[in-house]
Amino acid sequence: SKEITGNSYHFFSEGMDTRTFESVKLENALYRALDHEELVLYYQPQVDYLTQRIVGVEALLRWNHPVKGLIAPDQFIPIAEETALIIPIGEWVLRESCRQLKYWQDQGYPLFSIAVNLSARQFEQNNLFAMVTNVLSEVGLSAEYLHLELTENLIIKNRELTLKTMKELKSLGIKIAIDDFGTGYSSLGYLKSLPIDTLKIDKSFLHDVTNDDDNAAITNTIITLAQNLNLSVIAEGVETKQHVEFLSARECYLMQGYYFSRPMKAEDITKDFIMDRDY
């Protein structure tokens, strides 16, 4: 609306896009969420189907909103990224998940790793390496147990800084996985220049893999690519016995998905997965 009203309320009445208003409200609430301990981590097991062992858990963020209940990350991570709130939130996620893993290790449970998602925005911070180093020493967790999951779009955005930071992280012994592999717009060339350990097959490819020839071809190609480049490969979104069989037949044994477990609270992982190893 072009009306001049001289009235500041006008901005919030007809001129305002309600979605923008909603996201401003959400942003303010998200600021408070961190202070009020409304953020929670769920953990999803990563399984080696061949040895039948849990090899890792991925930390997945949720927001326990006082009114709306549990909110999925897709609903608020984009806002956190736009506003740079992802920086303190990401640091909290890293500290909390490392602390949880250290706790499991201190209980004497079999060792496995913790996978933490990093957004591009965090990677662009030039003190990321210092932050990670600090958290690890503060928590007392050995770096080899930390796996960082990054997406391809991060790599396109800032190649120089990405390479520098990746090398620093790798020098500590941290492992790096490319998340949602194959869904980004980057070329494959970076696979030889960047110190990557693992390709993570996106669940969108696996979903229809037994009916859709194209998805089967893509999944096959990613597995073969990883094997030929001597990278680990893990499939996410493993939901069915058919998925498990498809992957096993191609010697892709690292799997994560509802077939094994939904993301769960740490206590439930301890009960259902670490103590009762039957999957």
User: Residue numbers of the site for ligand C2E (CB under 6 A)?
Assistant: 44, 60-61, 72-74, 77, 90, 93, 117-119, 149, 179-180, 203, 236-239, 257-258, 263
Return the SS3 of 55: strand
Q: What does 276 bind: ligand C2E, Ca ion, none (CB cut-off 5 to 8 Å by kind)?
A: none
Comparing CB distances to ligand C2E, the nearer of 10 and 73 is 73
Supply the minimum distance, in Å, between the C-beta of residue 203 and Ca ion. Answer: 5
203 Cα distance to chain centroid? 13
Contact 232, 176 (CB under 8 A): no
Tokens 């490319």 correspond to 178
Integer Cα distance of 199 and 209 in angstroms: 18
Supply the minimum distance, in Å, between the C-beta of residue 208 and ligand C2E. Answer: 12
Residues forming beta bridges with residue 70, ordered by sequence position: 64
Residue 19 CA: distances (Å) to CA of 22, 25, 26, 66, 224: 5, 10, 10, 20, 44
Tell me the residue nearest to ligand C2E as measured from the CB: 257
Q: Is 54 buried (19+), middle (13-18) or exposed (0-12) by CB count in 10 A?
A: buried
Supply the minimum distance, in Å, between the C-beta of residue 206 and ligand C2E. Answer: 8
Supply the minimum distance, in Å, between the C-beta of residue 10 and ligand C2E. Answer: 37
Q: Which stretch binds Ca ion (CB under 5 A): 27-35, 149-157, 185-193, 261-269?
A: 149-157
Q: At what angle do helices 159-172 and 128-139 cross, to 10 degrees?
A: 20
Q: What does 74 bind: ligand C2E, Ca ion, none (CB cut-off 5 to 8 Å by kind)?
A: ligand C2E
Q: What does 61 bind: Ca ion, ligand C2E, none (CB cut-off 5 to 8 Å by kind)?
A: ligand C2E
Contact 100, 42 (CB under 8 A): no
Comparing CB distances to ligand C2E, the nearer of 10 and 40 is 40
Supply the minimum distance, in Å, between the C-beta of residue 236 and Ca ion. Answer: 5
Q: What does 257 bind: ligand C2E, Ca ion, none (CB cut-off 5 to 8 Å by kind)?
A: ligand C2E
Contact 44, 261 (CB under 8 A): yes
Question: What Rg, from alpha-carbon coordinates, does the chain have?
Answer: 21
Q: What does 44 bind: Ca ion, ligand C2E, none (CB cut-off 5 to 8 Å by kind)?
A: ligand C2E
Comparing CB distances to Ca ion, the nearer of 29 and 174 is 174
Q: What does 182 bind: Ca ion, ligand C2E, none (CB cut-off 5 to 8 Å by kind)?
A: none
What H or E segment, with its residue span, contains residue 122? helix 120-124
Q: List Cβ neighbours of 149 (8 Å cut-off, separation of 6 or more).
A: 58, 115, 116, 117, 118, 177, 178, 179, 200
Supply the minimum distance, in Å, between the C-beta of residue 178 and ligand C2E. Answer: 11
Supply the minimum distance, in Å, between the C-beta of residue 256 and Ca ion. Answer: 9
Comparing CB distances to ligand C2E, the nearer of 10 and 204 is 204
Q: What does 174 bind: ligand C2E, Ca ion, none (CB cut-off 5 to 8 Å by kind)?
A: none
Contacting residues toward Ca ion, per CB under 5 A: 117, 149, 179-180, 202
